[in-house]
Structure 1
């Protein structure tokens, strides 16, 4: 007898339209497993996934984030990072009770197709997902997570994917000689990806560029007190920065008005302008005819694959684990965990994050 579980369906054309639905358990095919989501995080990064739910060229194909867990003729299922436990298995090498960290739909349960199962985990080989970057299809056993500590469990889904992105951006800056910039401006500086970037840049030995966090006026004092950035200013203070000092912009927000102010103020002294996410999803783009450099997109899975090729998977894992453990020593004072349980709370958490009113000092964790 099949069981009904909850899931959240989102309109692919209007991400404000989301509803809680019943999701019937279908029989498993050979090679498949059913997992129950134990916990997942809801962050601004998930809103970026929703904004780019439709094909946007990110994956070198006609796929978008909606295609990870839903077929084209159905509503979108938002991808989230979290932990899950296997409840039913028709796959060799994976047994009920096994626990995995990875990428799941915003739902109570999920069905995955197991490939390359081993001591470290497995790869989802569901046909529509095989062309996606490996980072999205890799499910790691908790016991095999490098740098994992039980005390940090709730911080993994909240911070780990975003910290990795920030760390990779910092690595690219160092690899590119900081693009010749003496100051790195980080927009939406209270976001978790920005905090990961700021933390990593600040760990570099001197001389290094000054890090300047850009945030709303209400967040300046709190963010400055965290000590992540060398300096924190509000968006309306951008014009007070020295335009003669070569700068780079890392834009986590996708807010065209902020981008235009920075480009106009620095002109050719803006050496690089990198777009990472779109947490300000409803802000007007307004990027036509910008002075200064052409905006450059940053795609963390691509950078990860490059570094794995450069260093090897083991060395890459060791480097990020070392940085992660250093960050975990300070993360609890930056962010508290705010737990929510059940489908109604999950839907409310999505709507809160979409509204832009979520407290940046709280990490939202949903326990289905």
Structure 2
């Protein structure tokens, strides 16, 4: 094993300040494992993690996404979703060579603290992580994933967490009788979370609300051809929508200008306004004095916990698996995988996503 490995540090106060660093390999404590990241995805979701790296009230306490992998005095380490292989183990129930899907730092290697190890995987029990949402602390053995297919491997880190978020939003709409809306407007419709939402709503039997994907003019035709949404329009066509038809807005990017246009056009006929992420991290929030409903945040871990309590973990997993496998049958025609290798490529991928220059038709997979 190399005496050092690369990692990427991000300034907690300025997420544009980022450095590729070398880390020394230190001995494991009892209960710890060292893993080598095999692959992880870089998506707009990761930029949302960076934006909310510092405490922002998301978790109901004074913690943020930086707290998963670094202590407060250290630079931020961005969480990513991916696969890793155990290279060293001082934990019962975990062997060298075991492979897990889960939440890792943007780095070549990671040290995790193992708890509740079993046939399905384990939970990380690092003290600062135990007060963070449990969905982020679960590591699943690849062999135990009921809906894993080898052919879908590269799409798991690219789509799985984002599809799950979209599926959970769709579930909330159905649970809330669609808030009385006859049309659901989905901003940043080319994003992977939006695609997951559009796909999940379209799986519902009629009658259901019409889904309207909102995107830039350059993306309209290609996005419409995918058949994910009932209709796709550009942002400058929002005012052509029928304001007499009750609507709901799902904003994937936190772009205040788009939100203001929708609220102003529909007024009190906008029945819900849900903000999911903040990938447009530098866009003006512009939320003051909006007509229509108060904007509400959507937090996927909270919704997951509710549904697990409602249905039980097995039933929740089965519902996700059925929808995921149906989505995996169409995912390759929606997005191609763009693999990047090594630390320099990982740094460049982060900067590319942060700048908003990443191609939405490609899923970036980093191979450390």
The bucket for the TM-score relative to the shorter chain is over 0.9
Deviations, residues 243-301 of structure 1 (Å, cap 9, x unaligned)? 11000000001000000000000000000000100111110001001000000110000
Aligned to 1:362: 362
Instruction: Determine if the alignment matches structure 1 residue 341 to structure 2 residue 341.
Output: yes
> TM-score, normalised to structure 2's length?
0.99
Offset of residue 60 of structure 1 = 1.1
* Separation in 1, partners of 2:205, 2:24: 54
Equivalences for 1:41-52 in 2 at 5 Å?
41-52=41-52
The answer to whether the 8 Å contact 1:115/1:124 transfers is yes
- Cα deviations by residue, 1:8-41 (Å, 9 ceiling, x for unpaired): 0001111111110001111111000000000000
Q: What CA distance in whole angstroms lies between the structure 2 residues aligned with 1:156 and 1:241?
A: 35
SS at 2:321's partner residue?
helix
Return the alpha-carbon distance in structure 2 between the equivalents of residues 202 and 361 of structure 1. Answer: 20
Question: Per-residue deviation at 1:146?
Answer: 1.8
Tell me whether 1:171 sits opposite 2:171 in the alignment: yes
User: Where does structure 1 differ by over 2 angstroms across 4 or more consecutive aligned residues?
Assistant: none
Cα distance in 2 for partners of 1:163, 1:279 equals 16
Q: Equivalents in 1 of 2:23, 2:64: separation in Å?
A: 22
* 1:105-146 alpha-carbon deviations (Å, 9 max, x no partner): 000000000000000000000001001111100000000112
2:281 and 2:302 map into 1 onto residues whose CA distance is 23
Distance 2:313 2:88 in 1: 30
Q: How far, CA to CA, are the matches of 2:221 and 2:3 in structure 1?
A: 50
User: What's the C-alpha RMSD, in Å, of the aligned pairs?
Assistant: 0.7
Q: How does 1:283-362 map to 2 (within 5 A)?
A: 283-362=283-362
Structure 1 residue matching 2:232: 3-state secondary structure:
strand
With the length of structure 1 as denominator, give the TM-score of the two structures: 0.99
Q: Give 1:2 shift.
A: 7.1
**CA–CA distance in 1 between the matches of 2:352 and 2:122?**
33
Residue in 2 that maps onto 1:145: 145
Aligned to 1:271: 271
- Secondary structure of the 1:220 match is helix
1:2 and 1:26 in contact (8 A); partners too: no
1:184 aligns with 2:184: yes
Structure 1, unmatched stretches of 5+, are none
**Residues 53-89 of structure 1, C-alpha deviations (whole Å, 9 max, x = no match):** 0000111111000111011011100000000000000
Q: Which residue of 1 aligns with 2:91?
A: 91
Q: How does 1:239-258 map to 2 (within 5 A)?
A: 239-258=239-258
Q: Which residue of the partner structure matches residue 34 of structure 2?
A: 34
**Alignment partners' CA distance in 1, 2:224 and 2:18:** 35
- What is residue 78 of structure 1 aligned with on the other side? 78
Residue 172 of structure 1: how far off its partner (Å): 0.2
CA distance in 1 between counterparts of 2:71 and 2:98 reads: 27
Q: Whole-Å Cα distance in 2 between the matches of residues 239 and 134 of structure 1?
A: 42
Distance between the aligned counterparts of 1:81 and 1:252, measured in 2? 19
Partner of 2:161: 161
Alpha-carbon distance between aligned partners in 1 of 2:321 and 2:23, rounded to the nearest angstrom: 36
User: In the alignment, what sits opposite 1:134?
Assistant: 134
Structure 2 SS opposite 1:273? strand
Distance 1:273 1:62 in 2: 26
Aligned to 1:208: 208
1:119 alignment counterpart: 119
Distance 1:24 1:248 in 2: 50
